[in-house]
């Protein structure tokens, strides 16, 4: 029997994937694994029995990743599970920036006392008119889970799409429509595109990557969309460009005092992933990743340990070792097992930064004292007999 504890309400659609051998517990001290959304875990004392945390969502700044890694706790997130929700907001953002739909609706909301409103609306409508997105050029910076979906949807809407991502994954490249111009020079997007949307993570090298110089290169009347993070854009420089009309509209999912008071800006309250489906998808992915880890020791989409997948264990036993990424670890593991007469039938070792993970399949059961000996090796954080 495995036990899990939910620190936040987790979608039932996800939890339904746990079979009968899993049980929810209100007491974290009884749990093997924790499911979390936004609860702050930084000040928590995590009980030793917890071996994994799954964040149903992408951001993990509510979890102390390094401390967890040093305790041998694998932290998962669910990248891409909310990509479709964000994609739909980007498409909506382009449409809202192209015609004054919001202005038209707001105007009508104040006309309830107006007689013959139909006639007045016909007269007034040109004030809210705009352009179509079909035939326009869209530039996408970052072709990950969201960028690829936006690119493919935009192609279907008749747009000419330019994509830029120097680190594109093989998966993303496979999923990208062939009619997209995959470019190597970001300046092409700035110079050519009518709409520019950004879908990169916020890291040191991407902070304020769209600043005054980049804006200066853009076409007059460009629309900029930001459903990634506000700090990717120098919003002070952008505010100037919006006032001058150089940038026609800024559509952002991140409210702050500057953007809410800048003209020609459409701000949504971080709605990108706020759909029932996104929450369900995140929960399903979190649950499946936890199950594969608890039952097989496999890691997929961890943020503090490397991915490592050796399928289901078909041999007598499997042991999982979380350890420091330093020389001479594997030889020590094999020596301890060899001295105990335990035969290794399969072995995988992966590392990510300072941390490493080793899965060993064995053809003889691993005695408890051997597991203890493995745990005593300097640099080992946790030893778990998976099977």
Ligand X SMILES: NC(=O)c1ccc[n+]([C@@H]2O[C@H](COP(=O)([O-])OP(=O)(O)OC[C@H]3O[C@@H](n4cnc5c(N)ncnc54)[C@H](O)[C@@H]3O)[C@@H](O)[C@H]2O)c1
228 vs 336, beta carbon nearer ligand X: 228
- When asked if residue 79 is in the footprint of ligand X (CB under 6 A), the reply is yes
- When asked if residue 142 is in the footprint of ligand X (CB under 6 A), the reply is yes
Q: Is 130 helix (H, G, I), strand (E, B) or coil?
A: coil
Residue 44: which of 10, 15, 73 has the closest Cα? Answer: 73
- When asked if residue 86 is in the footprint of ligand X (CB under 6 A), the reply is yes
Interacting positions 312-351 with ligand X (CB under 6 A): none
Tokens of 176: 């990208």
* C-alpha–C-alpha distance, residues 67 and 208, integer Å: 29
- When asked if residue 211 is in the footprint of ligand X (CB under 6 A), the reply is no
Please identify, among the stretches 7-15, 116-124, 137-145, 361-369, the one whose residues bind ligand X according to the rule CB under 6 A: 137-145
Block residue for tokens 């350890």? 323
Binding mask 275-304 for ligand X (x = CB under 6 A): ------------------------------
- When asked if residue 145 is in the footprint of ligand X (CB under 6 A), the reply is yes
Please identify, among the stretches 31-39, 77-85, 155-163, 299-307, the one whose residues bind ligand X according to the rule CB under 6 A: 77-85
**Are 124 and 118 a contacting pair, CB within 8 Å?**
no
Query: CB count, 10 Å around CB of 179?
Result: 11
- When asked if residue 206 is in the footprint of ligand X (CB under 6 A), the reply is yes
Tally of residues, the chain: 387
Packing angle, helices 145-156 and 83-98, rounded to 10? 50
- When asked if residue 150 is in the footprint of ligand X (CB under 6 A), the reply is no
Residue choice 162, 164, 195, 357 for contact with ligand X (CB under 6 A) = 164
CA dihedral of 15, 19, 22, 24, whole degrees rounded to 10: 30
Q: Which residue's beta carbon is nearest to the bound ligand X?
A: 144
347 strand-pairing partners: 360
* Phi, psi of 378, deg, nearest 5: -60, 130
Binding interface with ligand X (CB under 6 A): 58, 79-80, 82-83, 86, 141-147, 164-169, 172, 199-202, 205-206, 227-229, 253, 270, 272-273
């Amino acid at each position: 029997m495995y036990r899990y504890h939910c620190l936040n309400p987790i979608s039932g659609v996800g939890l339904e994937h746990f079979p009968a051998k899993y049980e929810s517990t209100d007491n974290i001290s009884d749990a093997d694994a924790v499911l979390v959304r936004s609860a702050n875990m930084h000040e928590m004392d995590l009980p030793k029995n917890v071996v994994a945390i799954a964040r149903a969502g992408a951001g993990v700044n509510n979890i102390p990743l390094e401390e967890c890694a040093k305790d041998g706790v694998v932290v998962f997130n669910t990248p891409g599970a909310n990509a479709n929700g964000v994609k739909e907001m980007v498409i909506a953002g382009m449409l809202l920036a192209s015609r004054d739909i919001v202005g038209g609706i707001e105007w009508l909301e104040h006309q309830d006392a107006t007689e013959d409103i139909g006639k007045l609306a016909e007269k007034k409508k040109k004030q809210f008119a705009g352009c179509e997105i079909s035939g326009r050029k869209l530039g996408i910076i970052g072709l990950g889970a969201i960028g690829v979906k936006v690119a493919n949807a935009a192609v279907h809407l008749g747009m000419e799409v330019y994509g830029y991502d120097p680190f594109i994954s093989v998966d993303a490249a496979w999923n990208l429509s062939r009619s997209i111009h995959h470019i190597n020079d970001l300046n092409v997007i700035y110079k050519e595109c009518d709409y520019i949307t950004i879908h990169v993570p916020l890291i040191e090298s991407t902070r304020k990557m769209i600043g005054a110089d980049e804006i200066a290169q853009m076409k007059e009347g460009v629309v900029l969309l930001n459903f990634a993070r506000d700090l990717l854009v120098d919003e002070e420089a952008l505010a100037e460009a919006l006032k001058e009309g150089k940038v026609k509209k800024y559509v952002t999912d991140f409210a702050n005092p500057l953007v809410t008071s800048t003209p020609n800006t459409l701000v949504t309250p971080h709605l990108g992933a706020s759909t029932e489906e996104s929450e369900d998808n995140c929960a399903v992915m979190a649950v499946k990743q936890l199950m594969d880890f608890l039952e097989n020791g496999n890691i997929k989409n961890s943020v503090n340990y490397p991915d490592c997948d050796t399928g289901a264990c078909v041999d007598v036993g499997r042991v999982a070792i979380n350890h420091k990424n330093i020389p001479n670890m594997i030889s020590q593991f094999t020596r301890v097992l060899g001295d105990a007469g335990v035969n290794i039938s399969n072995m995988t070792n992966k590392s990510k930064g300072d941390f490493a993970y080793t899965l060993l399949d064995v053809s003889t059961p691993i005695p408890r004292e051997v597991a203890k000996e493995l745990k005593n090796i300097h640099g080992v954080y946790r030893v778990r007999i998976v099977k």
